[in-house]
Amino acid sequence: MVWLVHLNGTWRSDPTAGMNPNPQTHTLPRTILTRIAPMTPSQTQRPNPLHLLAAFASGGLLTLAIFVNGEAGRLGGALFSSWLAHGVGTVVAVAVLALIWRRERAATKIAEAQHGKAPLWAYLGGIFGAVTVMLTSTAVNSPLALAGTLALGLAGQVVLSLAADYWGLLGLARRRLDLRDAGAVILIAGGSLLIILFGFGSA
């Protein structure tokens, strides 16, 4: 449980402070907290523009990954493509972790002191990714085709992320949603649907 939020340079108590099972973490140096504390977005905090920019850039990475994995799928099938990506990903992650292991282990100790050990289910995010591949390859090869699959997938993403923020699902912070979020959802989802349904291919 995060008990501090960094707001405009000042530290304020989080309403959930009393629920912190590890009061000794209060004495952690501020620099460490700043680095590892997941800046729980409070109701009034504006998202850091750099974080939003990073998210936007990671969407570009996703485009690239989907193109590469799509080619692998075209040559060897959807299951092979995803299996290959997860296999290569595992090797790369191990290599990166081996290089920075000292730092990662220290960061994990601090994170566990603050949030407790990860629940068992938190290890299983990869299952959903694996199942996703099977679902999308089913949908793509139906009358929905690629555009329909992408459009409906987008709807699914928006619906679950709204629910996740509203209820603070699966141990992550709850975020209050307001009209601005609704506007952003409508504009970004609308623009994306326009590109998915009419932008691909020549009219």
Partner 1 sequence: MILPLIAAFSAGVLVILSRQVNGRMSMSSTPMISSFWNHVVGFVVLTLIGLLVGGLIPANISEMPWWIFTGGAIGVVFVASGSWLITRIGAVNSTLLVIAGQMVFGVIFDLLRGAPVTIWASALGIVLILAGMALTQRRR
- Which 80-99 residues touch partner 1, going by CB under 8 A? 80-94, 96-97
Phi, psi for 19 (deg, rounded to 5): -85, 0
25 scored as a contact of partner 1 (CB under 8 A):
no
Q: Which of 13, 16, 34, 108 binds partner 1 (CB under 8 A)?
A: 108
61 scored as a contact of partner 1 (CB under 8 A):
yes
- Shortest gap between Cβ of 20 and partner 1 (angstroms)? 14
For residue 143, what is the DSSP state? T
> Cβ of 114: how many Cβ atoms within 10 Å?
21
Piece in contact with partner 1 (CB under 8 A), picked from 9-17, 18-26, 138-146? 138-146
155 scored as a contact of partner 1 (CB under 8 A):
yes
Q: Which of 18, 30, 34, 119 binds partner 1 (CB under 8 A)?
A: 119
SS3 state of residue 45: coil
Q: What is the 3-state secondary structure (H, E, C) of 155-184?
A: HHHHHHHHHHHHHCHHHCCCCCCCHHHHHH
- Shortest gap between Cβ of 55 and partner 1 (angstroms)? 3
In order of 113, 147, 198, the CA distances from 144 in angstroms are 48, 7, 14
